[in-house]
Structure 1
Amino acid sequence: MLQKPNRQTLVEQVALQMESLIESGNWGVGMRIPAEPELMKELNISRNTLREAIRALIHSGLLKTKQGDGTYVCSSSALGAAMKRRILRSDTLQTLEVRHALEREGAHLAAQRRTSGEVRELLVQLERCEEAAKSSDIDRFVTEDIHLHQIIIKASHNEILIEIYSHIAEALQDSITSLTRYEAGANFLEIHRQLVEAIVDQDADRAVEAVHCYIQESKEVIIKEQEEQP
């Protein structure tokens, strides 16, 4: 015989529904979620139940509240939020080592599996990166650079790798800012062009070598900066 769910179970059910809306993209990152009265009416729940569910999602890193403005989506998944917290506790060298592992395998697979449509997408995105660098728009360059790597990972056609990297990329938005002045330089961009060209040519070894080059150069910059610090 079915039993009436207790209050805690109802809170969990509401939180899961809201989490599903976030993960499906119906509530995108940066979006303000509907106001309390609207959610209470739609879900047929009390204000206290709704607020407990929202608090649970804030604690998991999916939502954040802006005083006097509302509640906003700040991560596309609980895993993404957890990865962001973990990356923020790590130093930049460790983050680069993780990027190296994922981007190296992504480039290797992309060179073998990319489609003609993905080739066009990669070439257009590379131009966007170069345009952002020329304009000295650091925020735009970070966004375009991350998007370029996401396209490469997508071209790997490995669903698990794509999902893991999407969560990593979300967290990288803040962590790679310290490298942007260097990464927007001509040499770094040339290595990225070599990477894209290797994938276009379906040369997996050359693609892997390009990833190794830009990660290694980034590491050297970080180490040098650390040595110069008092």
Structure 2
Amino acid sequence: MNIHNKQSFSKVPRRKLVDEVLEQLQTKIFSGQYQVGDRLPTEPQLMKELGVGRSTLREAVKILVHANVLEVKQGKGTRIKSLSFTQDSFETRLQTADINHIYEAREMLDLQVAMLAAQRRTDEDLLKMKGHLDKRKKELEKGNYAEYIEADIQFHLSIAEASKNNVLMDLYQSFVPVLRHTLSQLILKTVDYKDNSTIHENLFTAILNGDTEQAKKYAGQNLELT
């Protein structure tokens, strides 16, 4: 079945373009008319039907790819991979783990690396964190959600790196797929997605100042949002 045989998309007249494109694509994909394996219209066709540019369309498609809804294959176009928000790129034990157990493990890990980073960070570590933090904010303001997610992940990974504990760093790396998946789902499920960057800025400041208690506090607050 091919989506171009269905009702055309409408032009995007308002709001942040990526948000509107995501909303229309999700409505179309999850309308009940399509099956796994169905191919989306070509990129030029979607650009014309949605009335948006290539970068905006690709940004929306990236989020749906991260959320495991779409897959893009060179020469084969973009197809529907799943009609539910599932996750397939994670270690076997975490694939089947209770979500509450995952959050408990993440909480322990995030609080510990934040505390150690506040104690052990170097000037080079701080420069890395600040660079990722600035990029995170910039990409969110522009609506570049895939780049925003990657910058967010790199910010947290730079904190783990600053802990100077290679075991914790490896553990944090193993959570990257789940972090990417979770953030993509939040964007897809929230109309006009907004982010409280203040918590991340406060977390950075706490690490900069070597304040372990404040670092743990803001790391915990960030987890409450996800």
Q: Give me the TM-score of the superposition, normalised by structure 1.
A: 0.54
Output the CA distance in 2 between the equivalents of 1:175 and 1:92.
11
Once the two structures are TM-superposed, the CA of residue 87 in structure 1 deviates from its matched residue by 3.2
Once the two structures are TM-superposed, the CA of residue 158 in structure 1 deviates from its matched residue by 0.6
Matched, 1:194 2:205: no
Output the CA distance in 2 between the equivalents of 1:166 and 1:208.
19
Matched, 1:122 2:118: no
1:69-84 alignment to 2 at 5 Å? 83-84=90-91
Once the two structures are TM-superposed, the CA of residue 132 in structure 1 deviates from its matched residue by 1.3
Identify which of 85, 95, 105 aligns with 2:92: 85
Once the two structures are TM-superposed, the CA of residue 92 in structure 1 deviates from its matched residue by 4.8
Structure 1 match to 2:222? 214
Matched, 1:151 2:153: no
Output the CA distance in 1 between the equivalents of 2:166 and 2:210.
20
Q: Is the 2:89–2:177 contact (alpha carbons within 8 Å) kept by the matching residues of 1?
A: no
Q: Is the 1:122–1:152 contact (alpha carbons within 8 Å) kept by the matching residues of 2?
A: yes
Output the CA distance in 2 between the equivalents of 1:86 and 1:179.
23
Once the two structures are TM-superposed, the CA of residue 216 in structure 1 deviates from its matched residue by 1.9
Once the two structures are TM-superposed, the CA of residue 153 in structure 1 deviates from its matched residue by 0.2
Output the CA distance in 2 between the equivalents of 1:180 and 1:147.
18
Structure 1 match to 2:181? 174
Once the two structures are TM-superposed, the CA of residue 140 in structure 1 deviates from its matched residue by 1.3
1:96-107 alignment to 2 at 5 Å? 96-107=103-114
Output the CA distance in 2 between the equivalents of 1:200 and 1:95.
28
Matched residue type, 1:199:
I
Q: Is the 1:132–1:138 contact (alpha carbons within 8 Å) kept by the matching residues of 2?
A: yes
Output the CA distance in 1 between the equivalents of 2:123 and 2:93.
36
Matched residue type, 2:144:
D
Q: Which has the larger radius of gyration?
A: 1
Once the two structures are TM-superposed, the CA of residue 161 in structure 1 deviates from its matched residue by 0.5
Structure 1 match to 2:11? none
How many residue pairs get matched?
Answer: 140
Where is the helix percentage greater, Structure 1 or Structure 2? 1
2:91 partner SS: helix
Output the CA distance in 1 between the equivalents of 2:75 and 2:186.
35
Q: Is the 2:110–2:220 contact (alpha carbons within 8 Å) kept by the matching residues of 1?
A: no
Once the two structures are TM-superposed, the CA of residue 165 in structure 1 deviates from its matched residue by 1.1
Output the CA distance in 1 between the equivalents of 2:178 and 2:223.
18
Structure 1 match to 2:168? 161
Report percent identity of matched pairs: 26
Matched, 1:185 2:194: yes
Gap change, CA 1:139 and 1:196, over 3 Å in 2 = same
Q: Is the 1:142–1:180 contact (alpha carbons within 8 Å) kept by the matching residues of 2?
A: no
4+ runs of 1 displaced by more than 2 Å? 66-69, 81-98, 170-176, 179-182, 184-187
Gap change, CA 1:206 and 1:89, over 3 Å in 2 = same
